[in-house]
Structure 1
Amino acid sequence: MAMQRVTVFVCVFLHLYLVEAAPKISLVKTLPGFNGTFPSKHYSGYVSLEGNPPKNLFYYFVVSERNPTRDPVVLWLNGGPGCSSFDGFVYEHGPFNFEAAKQGGGLPILHLNPYSWSKVANIIYLDSPAGVGFSYSPNTSSYITGDIQTAADTHLFLLKWFEQYPEFRANPFYMTGESYAGIYIPTLASDINKGIKSGLKPVINLKGYMVGNGVCDRDFDGNALVPFAHGMGLISNNMFKEAEALCKGKYHTSTNANCEKILNKIDSILDGLNRYDILEPCFHKPGVNDVPNGNLSFVPDSFKQLGVTDKPLAVRKRMYGRAWPFRAPVQEGIIPSWPQLMREISVPCTNDIVATEWLNNDAVRKAINANPESGKWNLCADIRYSHDAGSMISYHKNSTANGYRVLIYSGDHDMCVPFTGTQSWIQSLGYKIVDEWRPWLSNGQTAGFLEKYAGDFTFLTIKGAGHTVPEYKPRESLEFFDRWLQGKKI
């Protein structure tokens, strides 16, 4: 009994220490739109990176609701490149569900999210690189960057963050993200591993990483769409056979004019689909024929102003991460930012009104310690970004060779980064299968399929999910996230 009292005292002391050791100036006490008590501590603010010019990287940190002293610390990164990680916070697995304001305006109403990833882990949402979200620099020349520099800056951010939050240094550390974070995360893992080997302090207790619907390799990703479209019944068998014969499996690098002709035909057939989830409807621009008699009376004014003529689809903004229109995989060199793309083409099925209105509210920005110098918050920033790290296949091989656990997961209805390409590059690694392809269950139902390879490398699909998996399948996402972090069989 005495030993039990001592144990309870130690646990209470550690919890109190954890709460108090973090920077008090960063504590988030209230959030506009939410009435209630936070189920765990929230912190947000900046980590400044010295340099010429300096960079100020913004983070929002949600302490685990379960056991903060033992649960992993997990870094979340959205893709783009150049998209804010508040995408994940607002629309995917943050501590709140956002209920859009009724017609007439006002801030969204926040409710506790029963499937928040902070139920089982300490989550850092980071706006990266500088110029994205609330992260900024006094000199916008910092907004010219690329894969290598972004990984170096994020590594430095983590070293400084663990200096500010020393009570979390011993916790297992993982990284996860989606879409273009398929580049961010393996390159960052490589930098962290090099830092550990060179004796950098504090030591980051890296254990592994997860990537969802992530880009990896130009050829594998670029050749994935046509087989995916055929397998999903989106193009005919004859059309697929013609594409195979004319393009010989090379659907993005072929110079054959007849190949290009059939690919353009396929593009036109797929054009009306939501590329981020082929099961979901799209938000449309004016002029589509699905508005009865041109009557927009049922559409909120805020949507009309943005040219939206559908009824709003709940809170979903539908998309982000990063999708390249049509067949263009991630290429070496400058990648157009989302704002740049939208000035030149119509990017379909998109809406981010809820996050934009909430995060640009003065009271919200004050509550989360966002510096006014960061300017207006946008889901994706107009930065100049270069893909300069090449294929991620060698990075993944290096990670497993150094003992890091890897989980690659795919929403199986994403046409932006189709699972067919992801499965192909994983098979190219040549790892021995140690757990053969099988279903995995959530709530007693098949939630997807899984295959595990030597070196603790796992590939997992989520049935019926699109590009941003936790947005579509929150319960299932929390389950595989928790099981994998704990090292349990999924």
Structure 2
Amino acid sequence: MMSSDGYTASDGPLAQQSSTNSESYGPINQTILTGPLSFDYERSKSNSPKLKLNPYSWTKVANIIFVDEPVGTGFSYAKSSEGYNISDTLAAAELYEFLLKWLKLHPKFLTNSLYIMGDSYSGIIIPILVQKISDGNEVGQEPRMNLKGYAIGNPVTNTHDDLNARIPFAHLKTLISEELYESAKNNCKGEYRNVDPSNAACVDDLNIFTECTVKIYTAQILEPDCQKLSPKPRPSVSNWDPDTLMEDPVDLLQSITHLPEPRRWCRNYNYLYSYIWANDKIVQQALHIREGSISEWVRCNESLVYTYDVSSSLNYHRNLIKKGYQVLIYSGDHDMVIPYIATHAWIVSLNLTIAHDWRPWFVDGQVAGFTMQYTSKKYCLTFATVKGGGHTAPEYKPNECLAMIDRWLSYYPL
């Protein structure tokens, strides 16, 4: 729990933050994305990471609870093997239970405005959690949470549509030719995920698409590709598999204990610091990690028994419209993992009223992205792109994202 600058912990907004995909989480969020600390890459050595204060920490504008979820990720653990059998709905239920217990232990925050925040796969979990909080408030669950809204960045929302948008996105960003795009659109009838293997023309087009993009760093298409650090093989050009697109594009060998000497900088090298730092016994003692609760911190725990029982969170968003919450949905516009065009498409499908049409928003006099605002009575949804941002946006554009979240929490236009 952190606070600083223009508010005090007793009256500032309270935010619960979760992140990444169903198998990944941990100090990476605090140290690289929105937390109070970041790695000092200039002073760090390969086996000795150094920390510095993050000038763009979201804790400057809110009290934030960072949560390792689901159980088994980061430093979180269960006391029984059954506790590691988790799903989308169970993850949301556990977060709700956590918030109830946390607020009972810290009642001074009960009157603070509460916002639920996250990114990436949290796009599935957060709407479920917000629905649970809303339902609990309505039936008199104690303690009552002063829920005001939620914010999700680069959100997984509908796995089919999110993946299906990658080919139109690649066309928009000139990663594939006009001819290939039109051919694929015609041969595949706009369906690039559930492909009929007997449709040879469609399969051929998708194989060419894979050949064109296989060396693109999908988390941020302008940055160098660093997949040589990943143990996962690239999708075969002759075997189009859209499910590989949901895999973490920055997954790294967890056993690496020193950084390679790259010919050019790769963002993935930064993530190795978190592995070294989080497994330092002195660090774990300082963080009050219960000894013996985990054998090794890993960025992605692929041993979890995780059931994906919610393929789309869109109906949860629809149900929450009538609750009158403030909602922020933002996307890095160079993210090919969850393309912004897929996110904007499902927002449009909510059939809300356009309060403010597409326009640029600015930070330090420069265009930071583009935004639209939608309303339905008291409900207000702000959609924003972050220019040059990737998956996820605060990692690539920390100054702009801090300005964005500060304005949104203050009910100011972006």
Common fold: TM-score over 0.5: yes
| Map of 2:200 onto structure 1 | 257
Structure-2 residue corresponding to 1:63: 3
Contact 1:131–1:140 (CA<8 Å) still a contact in 2?
no
Q: CA deviation at 1:306?
A: 7.1
CA shift for structure 1 position 481: 0.2
2:80 to 139, 164, 169: 139
Whole-angstrom CA distance in 1 between matches of 2:263 and 2:298: 23
State the match for 1:310 in structure 2: 262
CA distance in 1, matches of 2:45, 2:157: 44
Q: Distance in 1 between matches of 2:19 and 2:277?
A: 18
Equivalent residue for 2:239?
none
- In the other structure, the counterpart of 1:452 is 373
Give the corresponding residue for 1:473: 397
Q: What is the number of equivalent residue pairs in this alignment? A: 382
Match of 1:331 in 2: none
Deviation, structure 1 residue 100: 3.7
Unaligned runs of 5+ in 2: 230-253
Deviation per CA, 1:400-458, whole angstroms, max 9, x where unpaired? Answer: 21111111100000010011111111111111111000000111011000011113011
Cα-to-partner distance string for 1:45-102 (whole Å, 9 max, x where unaligned): xxxxxxxxxxxxxxxx323443212211111111211211422111112112212486
Is 2:106 the partner of 1:165? yes
Deviation per CA, 1:445-487: give whole Å up to 9, x if none.
1100001111301111000110111111011000010000111
1:367 corresponds to which of 286, 293, 296: 286
What corresponds to 1:428 in structure 2? 349
- Look up the SS of the partner of 2:228 in the other structure: coil
Aligned residue number for residue 165 of structure 2: 224
Q: SS of the counterpart of 1:136?
A: coil
Q: Which residue of 2 aligns with 1:482?
A: 406
Once residues 408 and 265 of structure 2 are traced to their aligned partners in structure 1, the CA distance between those partners, rounded to angstroms, is: 32
2:309 to 383, 388, 406: 388
**Superposition RMSD on alpha carbons, in Å?**
2.0
Contact 1:150 1:184 in 2 (8 A): yes
Aligned: 1:378 with 2:319: no
Distance 1:389 1:415 in 2: 22
Determine if contact 2:41/2:50 at 8 Å carries over to the other structure.
Answer: yes
Cα distance in structure 1, aligned partners of 2:397 and 2:58 = 13
Question: SS of 1:456's equivalent?
Answer: strand
Equivalent positions of 1:10-49 (< 5 A) are none
2:144 alignment partner, one of 203, 220, 230: 203
CA drift of 1:265 comes to 1.3
Which stretch of structure 1 is more off in the superposition, 393-402 or 181-190? 393-402
1:355 paired residue number: 274
Distance of 2:398 and 2:218 partners within structure 1: 20
Whole-angstrom CA distance in 2 between matches of 1:132 and 1:453:
35
**Whole-Å Cα distance in 2 between the matches of residues 101 and 355 of structure 1?**
15
Task: Summarize the Cα distance change of 1:141–1:351 in structure 2 as closer, same or farther, 3 Å threshold.
Answer: farther
2:134 is paired with a residue of what secondary structure? helix
Q: Does 1:411 align with 2:332?
A: yes
Q: Distance in 1 between matches of 2:222 and 2:59?
A: 28
Match of residue 234 from structure 2 = none
Contact 1:400–1:406 (8 Å) recurs in 2: no
Q: What CA distance in whole angstroms lies between the structure 2 residues aligned with 1:384 and 1:304?
A: 25
2:411 is matched by which residue type in structure 1?
G
Provide the rounded CA distance (Å) in 1 between the counterparts of 2:256 and 2:326.
Answer: 47
How many percent of aligned residue pairs carry the same amino acid? 38
Structure 1 match to 2:219: 276
The separation in 2 between residues aligned to 1:450 and 1:73, in whole angstroms, is 24
Secondary structure at the counterpart of residue 150 of structure 1: helix
Describe how 1:333-348 pairs up with structure 2 within 5 A: none
Aligned-residue offset at 1:193: 0.8
Structure 1, unaligned runs of 5 or more: 1-60, 287-301, 318-349
Q: Deviations over 1:339-394 (max 9, x none)?
A: xxxxxxxxxxx762111111111111111111123211111212111121232111
Distance, in Å, in 2 between the alignment partners of 1:373 and 1:188 is 30
Q: What code does the residue aligned with 1:441 have?
A: F
Q: TM-score, normalised by structure 2?
A: 0.88
How much does 1:312 deviate?
7.0
Q: Does 1:121 align with 2:41?
A: no
| Counterparts of 2:272 and 2:28, CA distance in 1 | 12
Amino acid across the alignment from 2:167: V
Distance 2:38 2:259 in 1: 25
- Output the amino acid matched with 2:54: N
- Provide TM-score, normalisation by structure 1: 0.74
Which string of whole-angstrom CA distances, capped at 9 and with x for unpartnered residues, describes residues 194-252 of structure 1?
11111111111111101111111133212200000000010000000101110111111
| Residues 405 and 456, structure 1, Cα contact 8 Å, conserved in 2 | yes
Whole-angstrom CA distance in 1 between matches of 2:120 and 2:38:
22
CA–CA separation in structure 2 for the residues paired with 1:267 and 1:108: 36
SS at match of 1:261: helix
| Structure 1 residue 103: Cα displacement | 7.7
Equivalent position SS for 1:245 = helix
How has the CA–CA distance of structure 1 residues 457 and 210 changed in structure 2, closer, same or farther, with 3 Å as cutoff?
Answer: same
Distance 1:364 1:82, change over 3 A: same
Q: Which string of whole-angstrom CA distances, capped at 9 and with x for unpartnered residues, describes residues 275-322 of structure 1? A: 100011122428xxxxxxxxxxxxxxx9986795624737x44xxxxx
Tell me the residue number matched to 2:39.
Answer: 98
